[in-house]
Amino acid sequence: MTRLADMDQRELRTVAVGLLVSLVLWNLPFGGVLLYPFKILATWLHELSHALIMVVTGVGVERVVIFRDTSGLAFPAGEANAVANAFIAAAGYMGTPLWGALLLAATPTARAARIAMLVLAGLLLVSALTIVEAPPQDPWFGRWTVIVMAGVFAAAAVFVPGRWRLVTAHFIAVQSCVNALLDIRVLLRPSQMVGGRPTTASDAHNMAYATFGTHDAWAVWTWAAIWLLWSLAVLYVALRLSGSQAARIAAASAAPTELPRGESDRGARRRSPATAPGETAPSARADIGGP
């Protein structure tokens, strides 16, 4: 039980450190520069969530654009009704923490982290070749950035040592959850910047209009608060699942070596097939120096 508890605590401690480092860096003057690639990844996850719901609702997705300022847009291929609009608007802020939680829960071991990072790299590459486009004013960004990220994650999955690969996967997962939390603050502002241009048509505005029929601040802030609570709940559940999964794996690996309480390997030796009933195993001849 001690080993299981240590495994569980180490798993949660790794994630907690990643969460703390993320929050500290985002509030330092140059911390945003270090975390910039993860912010682009979070934007890709956000827009990919929109795109997936567009496909599920039958609206279809035309293209996804990711801007250098870490904003993004997902363009539908057709018209959406009020219900579809509500699901599409909610998908970004509700989907991003889910991606992070899924990565966190799916990587209890270094081997699982390798598989998960290769899958993530594959999704990045496929999206870059199919729906991600570069902004018109910045043709070398967007698609090529996503392709480079796919290559980096694939290389990390293959070449980074096991323990550090696990830490990397968990840090990526935590970043997705943290960015989902931090991005919600933008919804409380009167306007947002998308591609360097101000806009008031945020996901919360679209969601407020689809559900309450108004763009008033109270309706927008209601959905911002709901999405904030959702992100916190998803992060909490992911942390619990991650620790439980690690403990189960530790239990499975420890079980074959454990002995029943009150017994020792001496008893096992006495019951060896090589030992006749009622006898003990022969001892090796002692070297006493005699003839």
The residue extents of the domains of the chain are 2-255
Q: What is the pLDDT of residue 122?
A: 97
Q: What is the pLDDT of residue 156?
A: 95
Please tell me the pTM assigned to this model: 0.78
Q: What is the pLDDT of residue 251?
A: 53
Do 141 and 68 touch, CB atoms closer than 8 A? yes
DSSP string, 100-140: HHHHHHT-SSHHHHHHHHHHHHHHHHHHHHHTEE--TT-TT
Beta strands per DSSP E along 220-260: none
Q: What is the pLDDT of residue 265?
A: 44
Give me the average pLDDT of each 10-residue run along the chain (291 residues): 48 64 72 84 95 96 93 92 92 93 89 96 96 88 94 96 89 83 74 71 88 90 92 84 58 50 45 44 39 36
State the number of CA atoms in the 13 A half-sphere of 54 facing the CB: 22
Do 57 and 90 touch, CB atoms closer than 8 A? no
